[in-house]
Structures are given as C-alpha cells and as structure tokens.
Amino acid sequence: MRKRDPLFWTVLLLCFLGLLSLYSASPDRSFSLRGNFALRQCLWMIVAFSLFWVTFSVDYKKFYDLAYLLYGMNVLLLVLVLLLGRATRLGAQRWLGVGPFAFQPSEFIKITLVLAAARFLSGKDLHACGWRTLLGAFLLAAFPALLILKEPHLGTSLILFPILLGMLYAANLRRDFFLWILFMALIVSPLGWFILKEYQKNRLLIFINPNLDPLGAGYSVIQSRISLGSGWLFGKGYLSGTQSQLNFLPERHTDFIFSVIGEEWGFLGTSFLIFLYLFLVKRGLAIAARAREAFAQLVVAGLTTLLAGHIFVNIAMTMGFLPVVGLPLPFLSYGGSWLTSCLISVALILNVGTEHSR
C-alpha cells in the first residue's frame, strides 16, 4: 500500500479520537475489561486491523468470484442469529457467540451486499435494462433487511437500501427510475407503521416531539441536545463533560458518542471531526471515479455510501434531526463487529485505489 495515502492516515486518526472518546465515556477507567470501553476497543482493534491487512493484501478481483458465496454465507448467519442468537437486556437478538466471543452478522452484511450487488450490476447496462434487473438488485437488499428487521434492528435494515441506491447511481441508472423508486417508497412507507415494534413507533413519535415522554423515550435525545449545546465553542474540556461524566447521557459509548465529543470539545472539536469525515467520503468518491472497471467502481461507491450514510444519520440523530435508529458512528462508536466492518470497508477502498493508481 502507498503508506502516504491520506485516507489511511485519516482513518488512523479517527480510531485514535475514538479511543480518547471511549475512555471518557467509560464508567471504569481502570485496567478492567468490564467497564473500560477504550481498553476493550483496543483489543478489537487488533482483530480489526489484522483483517484490514488481509483484505488489503488480497487482489480485489478475487472478491468478484467470492461475492455471491460471501453474501450467501452472511445471510445464513443472519438466519442463525434468529434461531440461536444471544438476546440483549432489551430483548433484541443480534449476536452470535462462541464462549465469551460474540459478533453481529448484520454489520458484515453491509459489505457482502455491496460485493454481491456490484457483481450483479457490473455486467449490465442500466440505461438499457428494465425493471427486472432493478428488482433483482433490490431483492439482494430486501432479503437480509427483513431478517435484520426481525432481530429487530430497524436502522441497519433500512441503511441497506441507501447503499444500494448509491451503487445504482454510480452505475448510471436512468434518472426516471429514481423518481419511480421515490414514488413507490412514499406509497409503501405508511404500511411500515404496522410492522414496527411499539418502542420503534415511540421513537418516531418522540422525533416529532421529544417532550411527549421526556423521562422515557425522549430522554436520550433531550440529553444529547443538552450535551451538544453546553459545549459551546471550545467545549468543557476532556473528561469534564457533566452530562456524560455524571451518567445523564445514555448509550454515550455507542449511539451518542458524538454528543460526548460535542460537550467536551465544543463546536470546534465537532467541526474538526466532520472535516475528517468529509475528507474520507471525498477521497472514497475520488477513488470510485478513477476506477477503470465497473465492479471496482461499484464496490468503492457502495462502501463510501455505507460510511457516509452512517455518519450523516448518526450525527443528525444525536442533534434531533432524525429519529433514534441505533446506527453507530464509524471508527468512534464502541463495537468490535462495527469497527471491523469499517476497517474492512476502508481496506477494500484502498485496495481498489492502489490498483488503479498504477
């Protein structure tokens, strides 16, 4: 790899900022794995960066041959989650575990979907293809989305479709098809209300008015806004955020890690973080535009959309501009499966970028 590639160093910096933020968000800052999220994330980084180097070292063209196999295996793991998965304290069944080790197959389906969809679309002229091709692409996303929705995990199931749309745009799908997709989504979306869990319906209602249940479903958003607003320009200082340090902010190590940064580092700190993310997305799009093969271009476009979608939704969610749907922030939120998924995505992007820069 070109070790001077700015994308690689940007990701390293984001991982470092993530460790700092997780240390601040940890209830226990001793060398105990039980409560020190930063220490646990360090252990996950060893696994994640090992898979990063493996993914980068393999010729990306081999992933074309393996695309459907990897996708099928991942879908099988999603089925096993529903049959044998571990449940959380809130009843969600999202993890597969062997002894003390557990991982989320739903985080990796985002990557295998990109690979499978890229192979499916790369040999087709979407200006000439009709609805049958478009339906085939959407079925690739719909089947795992339904399995993930059953876990349930609404945010992850929904993010699969914007990823696919980003790939369709990169594949030059006819613009009138996008208008039809939007029209059909608007017609079908009200029916989705009836398949949502009660807590998911509450999240949507709270999005409209958080004060409907300020001590219940609306509590997280209210505390997140307070955290971000209290940081002002320069923040309260590292390890000095009252909302996070006094445990007012729920899920501060996962969904609301951005609020921790906003409270401690203020507007300048969050602006710097957003600048790093914008550079990451811009770099990914530049690599996609430079790719000379359809499969490579679609893979990079899909993975860049994956990262950009999580960044946008998570930050908007913490600010109260979108409902709370449980999408983590790339490289910062705690979670071994998510961190590994992000680093594998970047490895594939750099893999394509290195090959097509020669």
Look at 23 and 214; give whichever has higher pLDDT.
23
CA distance 98 to 48: 18
76: nearest Cα among 121, 30, 23, 143: 143
> For residue 34, is pLDDT > 90?
no
CA distance 210 to 182: 28
Q: What stretches of 135-176 adopt beta strand conformation (E)?
A: none
> For residue 274, is pLDDT > 70?
yes
Structure confidence at residue 65 as a pLDDT band (50, 70, 90): very high
Averaged pLDDT for residues 311-339: 94
> Of all residues in the chain, what percent carry a pLDDT higher than 70?
95
Structure confidence at residue 128 as a pLDDT band (50, 70, 90): low
Burial 129-167 (b: 16+ CB within 10 A, else e): beeebbeebbebbebbbebbbebbbbbbbbbbbbbbbbb
pLDDT at residue 91 in the model: 63
**pTM reported for the whole predicted model:** 0.93
pLDDT at residue 24 in the model: 95
pLDDT at residue 129 in the model: 67
Please enumerate, as own/partner, the contacts of 77-82 that have beta carbons within 8 Å and a separation of 24 or more.
Answer: 77/105, 77/108, 78/105, 78/106, 78/109, 78/144, 78/147, 78/148, 79/147, 80/105, 81/105, 81/106, 81/147, 81/151, 82/147, 82/150, 82/151
> For residue 206, is pLDDT > 90?
no
Domain segments of the chain as ranges: 6-355
Name the amino acid, one letter, at 274: I
